[in-house]
A and B are shown apart, each in its own frame.
Chain A
Amino acid sequence: MRLRMITTAIAGAAAAALALTACGGGGSTAAPGTTSATTAAQSSTSAAASGSDGATSSAGDTGGSAAAGDSKVLSDAASGKLVVGIKFDQPGLGLKNPDGSFSGFDVEVAKYVGQKLGVDPANIEFKESKSAEREGLIERGEVDYIVATYSITDTRKEKVNFAGPYFVAAQDLLVQDSNTDITGPDSLNGKILCSVTGSTPAQKVKDQYSADAALQEFGTYTECVEALRNGAVDAVTTDNVILAGYAAQSPGLKVVGQGFSTENYGIGLQKGDTAGTEAINAALNAMIADGSWEKALQDTVGASGFTLPAPPTPGA
């Protein structure tokens, strides 16, 4: 009797798990269908959009108006409103200020691109997009594009389109000012290295440079920086431009400055949106050409004493 109860319970659980899987599968297959339906409905407006866009930026003409009809970014831009994903917690790049405004280089890029697409910066709504959530936000269409220290990688390319790169960062180390024995990724043996939970940079250091380094993972970089300040960890690693922001925020810390690896920051948008990608690339090229790229970088990241790199070639 008791045994029968247990088997029933297990069977019930299995059935529930199956139902869960079925729901998940159904949800993911349904999503693209809905999206294409909406884009089809909007195609008439976006056709007009690509026309007006041709005037502001030289994009769209090369992509062809047929492709532009499927572009979520361009059709949303034509309606005068954009939702852009940025980070809310990275000083110098994407930061939500206490008064509710946004600042940082990613924000400036997002605004410039929006403007080139014909949207007033005041009509751009910024949405927080944490690292792990970025692909999902784009796929579900909750954002038009994401400018959030988004490294272009092959696995990510399978889920989203990338415009850019608009910035080339390199992985680096943040240490205390007084520290002289950490000079690069090779000198970390016997040291404690801090990074955020589930991120790859620290693992890369361990695998490729210093196998005898210990890895401490915290939920946020702020916690890592705090642990570094009171000496609980010896170094913090991630992209140099992010570290520069923290170094500027908390005195007594310095970036080692031996950038290793190359991180191409791109602007992520919906998979297959060729017209939108080209339009954003054109906007980025214009931003670099007219000097506002350098100015934006100087105003945001430059304040930390970070050596500004040469601009990349978007769309290359």
Chain B
Amino acid sequence: MEKEELKNTIFAFVEKAKGKKKLKEKDIIKGVSADAGVEKDEVKKALREMIDVGRLMYSYGGGASSVEIPSEEYLREKGMIK
């Protein structure tokens, strides 16, 4: 799978869980790897690239961390949108 396509798959996976389930990094890696038949390490790498540029973000609530789609407020704060 092309990297960009993989990233879109990851994004869709996170989007589907939005508001239903808090996903840890490992949930995404396992889930996408199983759904798309891509090596876990490859998913991990793509996921982290997405986090590094703010396409996804680490979030924190109730003591535990998760990966989520960034809010507009976050992106604005990081200077990624106006």
Whether both chains belong to one complex is answered with: no
| B interface residues, Cβ below 8 angstroms from A | none
Q: Which residues of A contact B (CB under 8 A)?
A: none
